Amino acid sequence: MEEKVSKSPNSTHRTLFVILTALVLLSCSLLSDTSDAVVDEPDEEVQVDDAAASATTLVATLTDVKSAVIQIEAQGTFVDPEFGEFSGAGRGTGFIIDHSGLAVTNNHVVTGAALLKVWIGGDTSRSYNAQIIAVSECSDLALIDIEGGNFPYLEWYSGPIQVGLEVYAAGFPLGDPEYTLTKGIVSKEKADGESSWASVNHVIEHDATINPGNSGGPLVSSNGQVVGVNYATYAEANQYFAIGQNAAIPVIEQLKSGENVDTVGINGMAVISDDGTLSGIWVSSIKSGSAADESGLEAGDLITSLENLPLATDGTMSAYCDIIRTQGDENTLAMEVLRFPTQELLEGQINGRALSVVGSGPVINDSPPDGDDAGDVDIPQTGDGSDFTEITDYSDALVMVVPNSWNDVESFDWENSWELGNGSLLDFVAIDLVAAPSLDDFYDLTGPGVDFAASRHWGDIGGYLQLLDGTEHWYLDDCERDFRDDYEDEAFEGKYDYWICDHVDIVVTAVRPIADPTAYLALIQISLQTDEDFDALEQIWATFDVVNPLP
């Protein structure tokens, strides 16, 4: 799980990769009846009786769930613990719970976003604006209000949640605007709900497949009632998790009043260094005007202690949320902060004294290492750093960090010809390093893995853009390119393509070294299938490097 685990890819960096989706349901025939009045003619004031609207828009079947599920795009500026500051848009899921347009999603989908756009029921012909009503950081829940009204909506499941209960996960995984529904059963009634971005005592474990983008969406019963809010996945074990209605409903009722619950106004996650010497709550973004904002916290800060207790020593939000729940989020909370860009230690208070510099922090890079700096320090990351290992090619020229489970590894000289724009061929030699759980599946585009290659001959192609363009024909028959974006870190610059295929998503990155742009070009192809694979993407981008001369 990401979820540690369900957070979704849809922009340049992890925070947005890591945004999840939420869903809602409605009768298709009823949607057709009401959409003429509300959607097709939004500028006309339509008088709707509340009782009649409620009766006609309540979703009553599994088939109609789609009509009440929404895809949410959150646009804003975020700071990632490995990639630094970036602006972009990430997509998640939500579901409508009232015909007026109130909808539930996850806190990490919306908090800190400057703009929210919503699409209902997979209909991409019209987008809606939405306003955040209130959020709960620790329960990872948020309530938003969609413009308009008379929408289809879902009701909560009222029966007992028992092992074996048939459930369905609805949503928009991987940022895809096409609605999906997967089937499973409840496999555990009370699973551990602690994660790096939330702290819930007990959650529902089920086996209805969810992927990044599903989080925030509904887990529903066979008659379309909401059993829980999907928020996490551990795909390798076929385990998926939802915040049960018993835990969600009391929080959401508080959110309806506009009251935030167990929150100081951050979109954050627990991080811990490989050796465990540095941990805390990484602040990815901050809600303007919140207690966190008024205290002087900034996106990119690491909150290392709250009320003099260390945070995230186990890689979860547990201690942070326990303190907030004990002390209250409106009371004064002492905190210590490490500010990476300035290497300063700060002390101050939430709802009290503003942060001020009290000393210097540990000697670490301004941002987590990448490129030529890889390996100089430990990389702060979610979870247990022992899940990853460093690998090199046969010549020790290439290096990168990959998951331990990607233990099918090969390295070789890639000798081939590249067709140039003038029709001639360029003969080249590249060093190639490949790792995957199964190389056969990786090469067949049915499983995750990475292929990292570099060649000093590729400069004759023209540059990293021409190199990236030259890979398009590898994927055009089986995949569709979603977008192209810039890539830059401290050591490399270039561009990357994001491809969506039948079984995997593929990120193809072409770069050159900033210090010596003509020395060589590198090509990194990463196939993604589960939430853990997006963690792998972060690790590879943060650590790939060419450390010795190429042939």
Please list the active-site residues: 108, 140, 215
Task: Give ∠ CA 191-240-94 in degrees, rounded to 5.
Answer: 110
Let me know if 420 is exposed, middle or buried by CB neighbors in 10 A (0-12, 13-18, 19+).
middle
Alpha helices in 282-327 (DSSP H): 291-295, 318-327
3-state secondary structure at position 376: coil
Contact in structure between 498 and 511 (CB atoms under 8 Å): no
Q: What is the largest CA-CA distance in the chain?
A: 75
Contact in structure between 106 and 216 (CB atoms under 8 Å): yes
Which phi and psi angles does 427 have, rounded to 5°? -80, 135
Residue 513's nearest CA partner among 372, 369, 413 is: 372
User: Six-digit token pair at 117?
Assistant: 């756009």
**CA pair distance 353, 326, nearest whole angstrom:** 20
Residue 298's nearest CA partner among 313, 312, 282 is: 282
Task: Give every CB contact of residue 302 below 8 A, 6+ residues apart in sequence.
Answer: 271, 278, 280, 281, 282, 283, 337, 338, 339, 340, 380
β-partners of residue 483 are: 498
C-beta neighbour count of 275 within 10 angstroms: 9
Contact in structure between 492 and 479 (CB atoms under 8 Å): no
Q: What is the 3-state secondary structure (H, E, C) of 405-431?
A: CCCEEEEEEEEEEEECCCCCEEEEEEE
Sheet containing strand 425-436, strands side by side: 408-419, 425-436, 449-455, 521-528, 505-513, 492-501, 479-488
